[in-house]
Chains A and B, each alone.
Chain A
């Protein structure tokens, strides 16, 4: 239940909070770095200085009101659509895996993947910009081919934890996924 501090791929501090609700249900939440006040102030000052410069050149006060408007709208759009506050993974043994991203404005976007579609949860390597990073992903089963993978769903894309954090999440998930492998096959009650 306690929070553990890690670092993201770009060096920002993130926190992992694992919770165990029951024997087959675990929730792993990664909290992303918050919006920094200094970056917000820097952007706002830059926009307003530019607007003031335009105002001095054009003598039109609409420029200033437009700048305020743009700043407000831009901030709202950023908080509601771009800035992710927390990403969490809820693994329920016999049900499925649920991936939730909560944005800074409180909006939550959720995806639930049924256990029948989940083949495995693995850590992959990727080349991202100039770095090689590790990321956790869910492999989806291809219905036609038992060995095939139809799709992959990458997790924690916004917080991008480093390998140590990913290993812990991976171990947690695998403990629960193993339970479904050891359980006997379902009977044919239809």
Chain B
């Protein structure tokens, strides 16, 4: 006879969909179809999930419970192939005769991957690779067949049960035999169907599924047998096709708002995650191919040999010593960094102020993560490592690109040459500004004496600054040349150095801001205190409130005098404070933009984005269904595909944490601080003590 048949087995999943013992609820059972024909189901495309999904498995023999050597009698577990052929054939010890076939040759046809074990060949010259049995042999087989039916059934059942238990042990997935399948090229064979029904009586599974396909049609018909139920109502059966390889490799992302869910919620909220979980656990079974010695030949997308890339394997081998070397270097560097020499006060203060050091520490941390010897425990840790690695790689590549651009045509020399004139220019502009303030700025009349004092003080400061810059000018080019080399550590490092250079060059503006702010702050506090005196009140420090107080006459007199002086000097100080605060804010904005860019490069999960672009099935937000061609009387056919995660969710889920935080002051508190003259520090790094 022609065609194949086999046993369905799989895991019974806790996905009851409204149906009970009657009929087969979708998703409740995961039959593994062992050996499907290739009619209509393209190879590598789909797995038949007749009522649930389960990949077929087999295992490598080295790791699994299957023993490769020995005759089929000792092997025990037929890998999903149940043939109605009498035993006793194929004990010659040849590879072909071992195991499953029990005298039947395999068709050699490759069924569709995704859940198909290799076709078990029933008798007859069906496949290209089988040796075609002679007519006499065929007759003999037929005779033997009748005789051995009962013997076979129990024997087959025993072997299958043993196999199933071993599989359960290896994959830790609760599997059981759920039914049988048959794919006959000609009409239904009575003996075959009898055999399959007998199998059904041996395996007590409720309900017993039988699916079959005839001829070259691609439509399967499915029937269920209820042995012990009292309700004979026929349930509808749905066949769902899915690509097993993609489901196995994909990772289901729960919705973000249900991330913190209780166990109960996780248990019955998503059956989809149970499906993905089961398929992923069976990964070990996909590592077998048809070249494995064993009783069972499986068909899935790796039947022709496990796919692997030699480059990937070489990289894996090379990564171990590379990681060890990197760990050693990092431990040396961190040992140096932690030494006491660098912890003395001026140096530690300097390190904390320079953003380059922060960035360096951050990158060192990243390097430590990727060079650690421990394998990633779960998917998110693996993605994190991969993201860090790709981010570092891209960063260094961009940095080297920048460096090559800077050093070509001696651009860095030109940059150094223009630096001094730019600094001079800035100083001259400041001098002009101060001269303007010392005159009648914007038509306001200033207090001449205070104006002159402040103006001359700041002018002298600028003069000192310019002299200092001129002192440094011969060394600028060399310093810049060597500092530019550090761009090879990454684009982020180059940007941080740029930000630090800007901070150093505008140090005098920072100084002016501090002087102006302190003066203004003192003035404001003095004014508020004297205003209270003016009204006869006092600030009670003990009670933190304003109390009335009786002052002496001379206290009142001096207080009022001082109040008047301060009040009339307020516009001058306020103007200076305003001008220098605006300049300072300008510099802070420029530095802030650079830090934003650095933050963006640091935290962007590039590997996840590239994965979403190229292998979108790996990051699954859910599934989607499509209705396939139908035929009347046959079960409904659906195609299940993976619905990939959207780019914004990818970035949100896999963002790398960075060290900087955004301005912690809200706009109102910032304005309040500016008004009172308190010094503002708009960007504070995590881990810094509050000032």
A binding-site residues for B, Cβ under 8 Å: 21-25, 27, 90, 92-95, 98, 100, 110-112, 114-117, 143-144, 179-181, 183-187, 189-190
Contacts and interface: CB of A to CB of B under 8 A. Distances in A.
B630 A21 contact: yes
Contact of A184 (B22, B269, B624, B630): B22
B18 A27 contact: no
A180 B18 CA distance: 5
Interface in B246-284: 261, 264-265, 268-272
Contacts of A21: 627, 630, 636
Interface string B1-41: 00000000000101011111110011110000000000000
A22 B269 CA distance: 26
27 contacts: A21-B627, A21-B636, A24-B636, A92-B238, A94-B238, A95-B17, A95-B26, A95-B638, A111-B643, A112-B625, A112-B643, A114-B270, A114-B271, A114-B272, A115-B17, A115-B18, A116-B269, A116-B271, A143-B261, A143-B268, A144-B265, A179-B18, A181-B18, A186-B17, A186-B18, A187-B20, A190-B12
B622 interface: yes
A24 B269 CA distance: 22
B627 A94 contact: no
A185 B622 contact: no
Contacts of B630: 21-22
B238 A95 contact: yes
A112 B622 contact: yes
B264 A112 contact: no
Contacts of B238: 22, 24-25, 92, 94-95
Q: Name the residue in B12, B231, B271 with the highest tally of chain A Cβ atoms < 10 Å from its Cβ.
A: B271
A21 B21 CA distance: 25
A90 B624 CA distance: 10
Nearest to A95: B26
B267 to A, nearest CB: 9
B478 interface: no
A130 B20 CA distance: 49
Nearest to B624: A110
Interface string B173-201: 01000000000000000000000000000
Contact of A186 (B28, B174, B269): B28
B19 A143 contact: no
A184 B269 CA distance: 20
A25 B264 CA distance: 29
B625 A180 contact: no
B139 interface: no
B21 A187 contact: yes
Given A22-B236, A25-B636, A94-B238, A186 B627 contact: no
Contacts of B271: 114, 116
A189 B204 CA distance: 14
B228 to A, nearest CB: 12
Given A21-B636, A25-B627, A94-B25, A184 B19 contact: yes
B582 interface: no
B623 interface: yes
B642 to A, nearest CB: 11
B19 A112 contact: no
A48 B231 CA distance: 72
Interface in B373-426: none
Q: Which of A94, A110, A185 has most B Cβ within 10 Å? A: A94
Contacts of A110: 624, 643
Nearest to A25: B636
Nearest to A185: B20
A9 to B, nearest CB: 28
A27 B231 CA distance: 30
Nearest to A144: B265
Interface of B is mostly: loop
A12 B565 CA distance: 75
Contact of B19 (A27, A98, A183): A183
B25 A186 contact: yes
Contacts of A184: 19-22, 231
Contacts of B625: 90, 92, 95, 98, 112
Which of B17, B235, B269, B622 has its CB near the most chain A CB atoms (within 10 A)?
B17
B636 A22 contact: yes
Nearest 4 pairs of A and B residues by beta carbon: A186-B16, A94-B17, A180-B18, A184-B20
A186 B19 contact: yes
Contacts of A93: 18, 236
Contacts of A111: 622, 643
A189 B12 contact: yes
Given A95-B238, A95-B638, A111-B643, 13 more contacts: A22-B635, A92-B238, A95-B26, A100-B624, A110-B643, A115-B18, A143-B264, A143-B269, A180-B18, A185-B20, A186-B19, A186-B20, A190-B12
Interface string B610-652: 0000000000001111010010000110100001000000000
B689 to A, nearest CB: 43
Contacts of B12: 189-190
Contacts of A180: 17-18
Contact of B265 (A25, A94, A98, A143): A143
A22 B636 CA distance: 6
Contacts of A187: 16, 20-21
A94 B19 contact: yes
Contact of B28 (A25, A179, A189): A189
Contacts of B18: 93-94, 115, 179-181, 183, 186
Contacts of B635: 22
A125 B264 CA distance: 34
A69 B265 CA distance: 51
Contacts of A92: 238, 625, 638
B238 to A, nearest CB: 7
A24 B235 CA distance: 10
A93 B28 CA distance: 14
A17 to B, nearest CB: 14
A116 B268 contact: yes
- Among A23, A179, A181, A187, find the residue whose CB has the most chain B CB atoms closer than 10 A: A187
Contacts of B16: 185-187, 189
A111 to B, nearest CB: 7
Contacts of B636: 21-22, 24-25
B224 to A, nearest CB: 14
Contacts of A90: 625, 627
A25 B238 CA distance: 10
B19 A117 contact: no
A153 B496 CA distance: 46
A90 B638 CA distance: 11
B18, B19, B627: which has the most chain A beta carbons within 10 Å?
B18
Contacts of B235: 183
Interface in B139-184: 174
Interface centre among A143, A179, A180 (most CB of B within 10 A): A143
Nearest to B11: A190
Of listed A25, A144, A183, residue having the most chain B CB within 10 A: A183
Contacts of A100: 624
Nearest to B176: A189
A13 to B, nearest CB: 27
A126 to B, nearest CB: 23
Contacts of A27: 627
Contact of B26 (A94, A179, A189): A94
Task: Kindly name the residue among B235, B272, B625 whose own CB sees the greatest number of chain A CB atoms within 10 A.
Answer: B625
A131 to B, nearest CB: 31
Nearest to A186: B16
Contacts of B268: 116, 143
A186 B26 CA distance: 11
B303 to A, nearest CB: 30
